[in-house]
Amino acid sequence: MKNFFSLVKETLTESNPLLKFELFQTLFENFSENQLDFLSLELPEIFEKPSFHQICQIVKPYEVKQRKNLHEDEGKIALLHAIAHIEYSAIDLALDACYRFQDLPEQFYKDWLEVASDEIRHFKMISTLLEKYGVKYGDIPVHQGLFEASMKSLTLVQRMAFIPRYMEANGLDSNQAMIKKLKSIPKTKEIIEVLEVILEEEIAHVQKGDRWYKYGCMQIENFSCNYFDIVNKIYPDSFKTNKSLNVEARKKAGFSDEEILKLQEF
Helix, strand, or coil here: 58? strand
Residues of the chain above pLDDT 90, percent = 86
24 within a domain of the structure (yes/no): yes
Mean pLDDT of the chain: 94
Strands (E), the chain: 2-3, 36-37
Residue 38 included in any domain = no
pLDDT at 237: 87
Number of structural domains (the chain) is: 1
The answer to whether residue 40 sits within a structural domain is no
Q: Is residue 36 part of a domain?
A: no
Left, alpha or beta for 66 (phi > 0: left; psi -120 to 50: alpha)? beta
- The enclosing domain of 237 has a CATH number of 1.20.1260
Q: Are 37 and 4 in contact (CB under 8 A)?
A: yes
Q: How many CB atoms lie within 10 A of CB 213?
A: 25
Q: What is the pLDDT of residues 62-79, one digit of tens each?
A: 888 776 789 999 999 999
Share of the chain above pLDDT 70, in %: 98
Residue numbers of the domain that contains 8: 2-31+46-265
> Would you mind telling me the total number of residues written for the chain in this entry?
266
Domain annotation covers residue 114? yes
pLDDT at 244: 83
Query: Within 13 A of 155's CA, how many CA atoms are on the CB side?
Result: 13
Q: Residue 51: inside a domain, yes or no?
A: yes
Residue 262 or residue 242, greater confidence = 262
Residue 93 lies in a domain: yes
Q: What is the mean pLDDT of residues 31-57?
A: 94
- Asked whether the predicted pLDDT for residue 242 surpasses 70, the reply is no
Asked if the structure places residue 37 within a domain, the reply is: no
Max Cα separation, the chain? Answer: 55
Which residues is 37 bridged to in the sheet?
A: 3
Q: What is the pLDDT of residues 109-164, one digit of tens each?
A: 999 999 999 999 999 999 999 999 999 999 999 999 999 999 999 999 999 999 99
